[in-house]
């Protein structure tokens, strides 16, 4: 499994058109990096990342624990043959009288299909950024399609109205879409390790890791430990929890034509 | 008033739209083969089919089932001879029996979607149905057997 | 293992007004629903069967079918002696009546894995008596001697003359039953010992089987009861104004356990209860915390308690031992979590009361109902329906769910089915008590134990019930069974088993295999610890210690052989072994485990069972499978926690149980035996947690002394 990342110069035409051949200005870039922090917060909220998972087993609840019925993604994202998501998840959230733990609902309740897994769970900002732009992950969606997805998709919108005692996505939906556009319009700049370090995003050094393996099972505690290099470049490692596959994260130096990569180490 | 078609019979029920389908089936239509186990879609004892797809009746507002074909365990076969039921009898699956209506309805849905299910398919489709008597190994064997019987039946 | 039996004897006596009656055919006949007509259509020679003119043989069960298979096993006993046509057998739960008191104690109940072995003689005799009368009747009709008749497949045959049992009903019912009847020699058995499929399958695969939850008749209402969020809390006051506005809600009444909302159906009652406001006096238990209790228990376990068993001087021997192993083991509170939430339907009339419920305790329920309604026990008719799982929860000394339902129906003045939600059931108390074991074992130079000091701390099931007097010298036998009578201790000169039985306010109860749920885990994990300390293979070590315990050894060897003990396993897997006696039977299990994605995975369990005569091998295998899966749920996930007096778990999402994807492949091997039958229903549970824990030790080198194992 190879995750080729597009460098700046190879970005989607839509984004390029917005910022011109010279690329974003330093100011634009800073705004985009800032906007991406919001994108990340939303993408990695339990309401979103519980289904944007590596492997085939979704998570549930705010704590992101394994989905109790051992349900799986299935051939089209709609669950296993014989146990489609719709068996329990209806077209809308159940009435409040069903209790806070009744399965939530929204139209076409599903996981991303295997062809477009869009794994967000546990990724660092650079890795998440790379993933969103990876056409192998997003099934060739361009930014127009991605913006449409995050703006209009009813299942996405459910994240802001999850029912029960589930925490809704904390960032207002309109603000999230706006930030997503800001980032996209700036050419969907690659958020570098230095950016992430500066914003306090990547602080998870080995010395700060949770002490026990059990704690490390909590989502968010499996970020890589990138080693910063010259001019925003970095190299790091990320592990996929479900199969312990180790991925090498490579973030190229700013301004070079080398591609960022996320490949099996 | 909600009009439901249960096991081919259409009937009006004077119940609110948001009443769970399970309790309309059990307490109003008095078809008690569909069981109440958890009320949260945790255990699968309430599984019925809606237009042929499995559904946990305990978390489905009855309004969502209006106008669709509901099949309960009672409507699976006129005489208990659906291939899944025959396999259940052959393998002596049941113990207390309370979960088995749901197990059978889920198994029927699985074999319909995947006529030759593997063990992994059985894990994926039937882990939503809890059995406290632990009949899982026999259910697994019976699903495989039912798949064979179903093929023989349609041949 | 006799704790429950002893308890029940006393309970029946202490329960007040319970008649100690023995099997009397006349009384038995009176207890039956069918009555004798001038030309008898039914032949009912005793309380346990009746034969109709249509050849149908109806077997009446003195015990409750809750999955364990007595719906099939007890009819097998009758069919064996009756030479019945198996296809003509029908089964019913017997009414509650002295005729159906257990042969072991004067009470009608189901528990202690006792049904089959306590009925082994009585049900065979019932069949043999009926057969003798049918033969007599046929002989008269044929004009031959009874001795010249034989029976086969529901017919009496003499030469070329044949009569179906149905044809002999009238004549046979006019004969006097013989005082004694010979029973078949074991070598002539055609039914007993033969794998026989369940008789309740057809109705359970078609949705026709009626469980308590399914009881319905015209005019029946449904109630949900609001109960205190803290055990022992009481109603200070309530406001039902909003509840009464819910369409379908008929009444709101206070009962001793809370406030009942009575409605046309479950959903209206549920909405009504949601709308109800109750002001609770939480009482003394509002600070209960299971974590603190566990710490308290651990502290208590370091002090001496009431002596449950001892020999020699354990303290002195420990001091002299070459080596000393010390360990603390702990298990949490557990809920039964049967698939069918508790429920009970009650209809009270002027001179009678009818109760429909899935119960394991007919006689106590009948007595309690009589007391509340002011009727005599015989005026209370208990209709036992299928139990959607029992596991002990439907056998409460207080008849809690029956008593409450009777109060509700009484207060309502109408027939009412009181239904518990899953959350009610989970939080309603009556749990397997939490236990802490503190153990010090002294080893000799050869690695064998020579001194054993074992202190248990955990609530007594009987304490705080009306039957507290059953506790002798501070010992509730059900707390220490499996330790105090351990075969390992019998081989040691110096040992001592102490028990502390603290009171906590948490209602506790027997759960499938009772004390063995924890003692099997602790003893067999400890033996594994000792084997490793001695540098010996766990199988070889057990063989040495159990060399004079043939039935332990028999199951141990069979399970080890079938599991391929000592043969290589795929990378990342390991085996663990355990053997435990309970309820008069012996079970050994080998578990194969791995750790996958930080989760414990049990791949395979091989079980050997010695339960003496195996009446229905098919259902014995099923019960081992069942006990193993039940035990894995407890080993991996089961834990009830209390915080601020409130049970934290509520449903299957936070009280996890084994699902299909976690169920191992299970193989069951039955040790051939002609010994008296022992129990089966609970026997598969005790070894499995230890077998898994021992396998995990083999895999990881980490000893797990607390349940549930939960995460790797």
Domain positions in chain C are 3-196, 212-283+342-419, 290-334+431-700
- Interchain pair A80, B125: CB under 8 A: yes
Count of residues in chain C:
712
pLDDT band at A228, cuts 50/70/90? Answer: low
In CATH, which of 3.30.365.10, 3.30.2310.20, 3.40.50.300, 1.20.20.10 is domain C212-283+342-419? 3.30.365.10
> Which residue bears the tokens 């007594």?
C460
**C3-196: CATH topology:** Aldehyde Oxidoreductase; domain 4 (3.30.365)
**Chains interfacing with B (3 or more CB pairs < 8 Å):** A, C
* Closest-CA residue of chain C to A95: C271
**How far apart are the C-alpha atoms of C528 and C574, rounded to whole Å?**
14
Which pLDDT does position A250 carry in this prediction? 65
- At A39 the three-state DSSP class reads helix
Kindly provide the ipTM of the predicted complex, given to two decimals: 0.98
CATH class name, domain B83-154: mainly alpha
**How far apart are the C-alpha atoms of A68 and B56, rounded to whole Å?**
15
pLDDT band at A204, cuts 50/70/90? Answer: very low
Which pLDDT does position A5 carry in this prediction? 34
Among candidate residues C434, C439, C464, the one with its CA nearest the CA of residue C449? C439
Ranges of chain C with pLDDT below 70: 1-38, 466, 711-712
- pLDDT higher at C82 or A259: C82
CATH H superfamily, domain B2-75: Beta-grasp domain (3.10.20.30)
Of A214-218, A226-230, C101-105, C273-277, where does mean pLDDT reach its minimum? A214-218
Which pLDDT does position C409 carry in this prediction? 98
Tokens at residue B43, please?
A: 């255990």
Work out the mean pLDDT of chain A and round it to a whole number: 76
Does the structure show a pLDDT above 90 at A142? no
Cβ–Cβ under 8 Å, residues C625 and B134: yes
For residue C701, report the phi and psi dihedrals to the nearest 5 degrees. 80, 5
Which residues in chain B have Cβ-Cβ distances shorter than 8 Å to A71?
124, 127-128
Cβ–Cβ under 8 Å, residues C495 and C312: yes
Of A254-258, B122-126, C421-425, C700-704, where does mean pLDDT reach its minimum? A254-258
Q: Do domains B2-75 and B83-154 have the same CATH topology?
A: no
Which pLDDT does position C608 carry in this prediction? 98
Strand ranges inside C349-401, DSSP E: 353-357, 380-384
**How far apart are the C-alpha atoms of A171 and A156, rounded to whole Å?**
13
| A64-116 confidence digits (pLDDT tens) | 988 989 999 999 999 999 999 999 999 999 999 999 999 999 999 999 999 88
**CATH code of domain C290-334+431-700:** 3.30.365.10
Report DSSP letters for A206-264, one per residue: GGGS-SSHHHHTSTTS-----EE-GGG-EEEEEEETTTTEEEEEEEPPTT--PPPEEEE
Tokens at residue C249, please?
A: 């809600």
* Closest-CA residue of chain C to B34: C207
Which residues in chain C have Cβ-Cβ distances shorter than 8 Å to A69?
659
Residue C528 CA to chain centroid, in angstroms?
28
**How far apart are the C-alpha atoms of C56 and C43, rounded to whole Å?**
10
Does the structure show a pLDDT above 70 at A201? no
Residue C43 CA to chain centroid, in angstroms?
33
Which pLDDT does position A25 carry in this prediction? 82
Which pLDDT does position A197 carry in this prediction? 56
Residue C623: HSE in the Cβ half-sphere, 13 Å Cα cutoff: 33
Most confident region among A51-55, A235-239, B44-48 by mean pLDDT: B44-48
- Interchain pair B61, A97: CB under 8 A: no
Mutate to test the interface with A, among B63, B68, B113, B119 (most CBs of A within 10 A): B113
Tokens at residue C323, please?
A: 């080596």
Burial of A6 (0-12, 13-18, 19+ CB in 10 A): middle
* Closest-CA residue of chain C to B48: C207
Which pLDDT does position C449 carry in this prediction? 98
Cβ–Cβ under 8 Å, residues A226 and A249: yes
**How far apart are the C-alpha atoms of C452 and C481, rounded to whole Å?**
16
Does the structure show a pLDDT above 70 at A14? no
Which residues in chain C have Cβ-Cβ distances shorter than 8 Å to B74?
206-208
- Interchain pair B40, A99: CB under 8 A: yes
Does the structure show a pLDDT above 50 at A18? no
pLDDT band at A1, cuts 50/70/90? Answer: very low
Which pLDDT does position A238 carry in this prediction? 65
Which pLDDT does position A239 carry in this prediction? 63
Candidate from A70, A90, A95 with C-beta closest to B123:
A70
- pLDDT higher at C20 or B2: B2
- pLDDT higher at C574 or A249: C574
Does the structure show a pLDDT above 80 at B154? no
- At A58 the three-state DSSP class reads coil
Which pLDDT does position A144 carry in this prediction? 87
Cβ–Cβ under 8 Å, residues A154 and A106: yes
Tokens at residue C411, please?
A: 């207060």
Distances (CA, A) of C549 to C452, C519, C544, C546, C581: 19, 18, 10, 5, 11
Which pLDDT does position A187 carry in this prediction? 83
Which residues in chain A have Cβ-Cβ distances shorter than 8 Å to C637?
none
């Amino acid at each position: 499994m190879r995750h080729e990342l597009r460098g700046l110069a190879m970005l989607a035409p839509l984004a390029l058109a917005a910022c011109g051949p010279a690329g974003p200005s330093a100011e634009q870039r800073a705004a985009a990096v800032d906007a991406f922090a919001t994108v990340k917060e939303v993408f990695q909220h339990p309401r979103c990342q519980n289904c944007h998972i590596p492997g085939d087993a979704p998570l549930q609840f705010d704590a992101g624990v394994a989905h109790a019925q051992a349900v799986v993604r299935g051939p089209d994202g709609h669950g296993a043959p014989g146990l489609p998501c719709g068996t329990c998840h209806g077209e809308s959230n159940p009435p409040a009288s069903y209790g806070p733990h009744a399965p939530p609902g929204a139209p076409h309740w599903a996981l991303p299909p295997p062809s477009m897994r869009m794994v967000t769970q546990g990724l660092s900002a650079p890795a998440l950024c790379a993933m969103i732009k990876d056409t192998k992950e997003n099934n060739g969606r361009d930014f127009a399609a991605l913006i449409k997805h995050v703006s209009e998709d009813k299942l996405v919108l459910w994240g802001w109205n999850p029912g029960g005692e589930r925490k809704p996505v904390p960032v207002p939906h309109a603000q999230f879409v706006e930030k997503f556009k800001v980032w996209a319009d700036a050419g969907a700049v690659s958020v570098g390790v230095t950016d992430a370090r500066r914003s306090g995003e990547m602080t998870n050094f080995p010395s700060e890791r949770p002490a026990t393996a059990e704690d490390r099972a909590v989502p968010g505690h499996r970020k890589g430990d990138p080693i910063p290099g010259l001019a925003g470049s970095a190299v790091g490692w990320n592990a996929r929890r479900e199969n312990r596959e180790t991925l090498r994260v490579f973030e190229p130096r700013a301004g070079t034509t080398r591609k960022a990569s996320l490949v099996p180490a | 008033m909600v009009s439901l078609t249960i096991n081919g019979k259409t009937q009006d029920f004077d119940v609110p739209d948001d009443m769970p389908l399970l309790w309309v089936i059990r307490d109003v239509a008095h078809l008690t083969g569909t069981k109440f186990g958890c009320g949260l879609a945790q255990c699968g004892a309430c599984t019925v089919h809606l237009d042929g797809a499995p559904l946990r009746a305990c978390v489905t507002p009855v309004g969502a089932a209006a106008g669709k074909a509901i099949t309960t365990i009672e409507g699976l076969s006129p005489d208990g001879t659906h291939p899944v039921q025959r396999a259940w009898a052959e393998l002596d699956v049941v113990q207390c029996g309370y979960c088995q209506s749901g197990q059978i309805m889920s198994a029927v849905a699985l074999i319909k979607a995947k006529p030759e299910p593997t063990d992994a398919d059985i894990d994926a489709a039937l882990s939503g149905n809890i059995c406290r008597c632990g009949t899982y190994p026999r259910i697994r064997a019976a699903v495989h057997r039912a798949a064979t019987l179903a093929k023989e039946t349609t041949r | 293992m006799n704790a429950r039996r002893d308890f029940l004897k006393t309970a029946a006596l202490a329960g007040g007004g319970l008649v100690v009656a023995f099997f009397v055919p006349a009384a038995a006949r009176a207890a039956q629903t069918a009555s004798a007509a001038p030309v008898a259509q039914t032949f009912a020679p005793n309380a346990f069967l009746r034969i109709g003119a249509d050849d149908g043989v109806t077997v009446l069960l003195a015990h409750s079918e809750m999955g364990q298979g007595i719906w099939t096993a007890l009819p097998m006993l009758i069919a064996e002696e009756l030479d019945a046509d198996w296809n003509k057998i029908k089964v019913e739960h017997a009414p509650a009546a002295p005729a159906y008191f257990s042969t072991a104690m004067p009470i009608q109940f189901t528990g202690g894995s006792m049904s089959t072995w306590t009925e082994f003689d009585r049900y065979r005799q019932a069949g043999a008596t009926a057969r003798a009368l049918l033969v007599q009747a046929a002989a008269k009709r044929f004009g031959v001697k009874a001795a010249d008749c034989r029976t086969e497949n529901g017919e009496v045959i003499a030469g070329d003359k044949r009569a179906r049992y149905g044809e002999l009903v009238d004549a046979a019912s006019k004969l006097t039953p013989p005082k004694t009847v010979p029973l078949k020699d074991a070598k002539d058995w055609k039914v007993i010992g033969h794998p026989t499929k369940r008789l309740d399958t057809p109705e359970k695969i078609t949705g026709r089987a009626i469980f308590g939850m399914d009881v319905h008749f015209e005019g029946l209402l449904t109630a949900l009861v609001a109960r205190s969020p803290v055990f022992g809390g009481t109603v200070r006051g309530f406001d039902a104004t909003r509840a009464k506005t819910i369409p379908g809600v008929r009444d709101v009444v206070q009962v001793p356990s809370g406030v009942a909302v009575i409605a046309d159906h479950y959903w209206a009652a549920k909405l009504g209860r949601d709308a109800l406001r109750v002001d609770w006096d939480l009482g003394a238990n509002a600070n209960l915390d299971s974590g603190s209790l566990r710490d308290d228990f651990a502290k208590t376990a370091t002090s001496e308690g009431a002596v449950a068993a001892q020999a020699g001087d354990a303290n002195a021997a420990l001091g002299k031992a070459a080596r000393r192993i010390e360990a603390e083991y702990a298990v949490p509170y557990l809920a039964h979590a049967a698939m069918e939430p508790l429920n009970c339907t009650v209809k009270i009339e002027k001179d009678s009361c009818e109760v429909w419920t899935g119960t394991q305790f007919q006689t106590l329920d009948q007595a309690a109902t009589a007391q509340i309604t002011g009727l005599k026990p015989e005026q209370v008719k208990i209709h036992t329906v299928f139990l959607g799982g029992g596991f002990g929860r439907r056998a409460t000394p207080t008849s809690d769910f029956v008593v409450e339902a009777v109060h509700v129906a009484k207060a309502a003045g109408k027939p009412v089915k009181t239904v518990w939600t899953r959350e009610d059931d989970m939080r309603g108390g009556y749990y397997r008590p939490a236990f802490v074991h503190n153990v010090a074992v002294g080893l000799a130079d050869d690695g064998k134990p020579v001194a054993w000091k074992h202190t248990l701390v955990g609530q007594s099931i009987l304490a705080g019930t009306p039957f507290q007097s059953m506790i002798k010298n501070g010992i509730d036998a059900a707390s220490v069974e499996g330790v105090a009578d351990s075969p390992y201790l019998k081989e040691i000169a110096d040992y001592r088993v102490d028990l502390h039985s603290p009171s906590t306010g948490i209602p506790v109860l027997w759960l499938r295999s009772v004390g063995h749920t924890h003692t099997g885990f602790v003893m067999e994990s400890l033996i594994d610890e000792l084997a490793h300390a001695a540098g010996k293979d766990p199988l070889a070590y057990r063989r040495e210690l159990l060399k004079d315990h043939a039935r332990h050894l028999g199951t141990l060897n069979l399970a080890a052989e079938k599991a391929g003990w000592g043969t290589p396993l795929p990378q990342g897997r390991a085996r663990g072994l355990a053997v435990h006696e309970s309820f008069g039977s012996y079970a050994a299990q080998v578990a194969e485990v791995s750790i996958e994605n930080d989760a414990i995975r049990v791949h395979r369990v091989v079980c050997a069972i010695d339960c003496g005569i195996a009446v229905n091998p098919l259902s014995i295998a099923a019960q081992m499978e069942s006990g193993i899966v039940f035990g894995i749920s407890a080993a991996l996930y089961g834990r009830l926690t209390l915080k601020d007096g409130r049970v934290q778990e509520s449903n299957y999402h936070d009280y996890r149980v084994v699902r299909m994807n976690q169920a191992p492949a299970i193989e069951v091997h039955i040790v051939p035996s002609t010994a008296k039958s022992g129990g089966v229903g609970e026997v598969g549970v005790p070894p499995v947690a230890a077998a898994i824990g021992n396998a995990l030790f083999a895999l990881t080198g980490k000893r797990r002394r607390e349940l549930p194992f939960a995460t790797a």
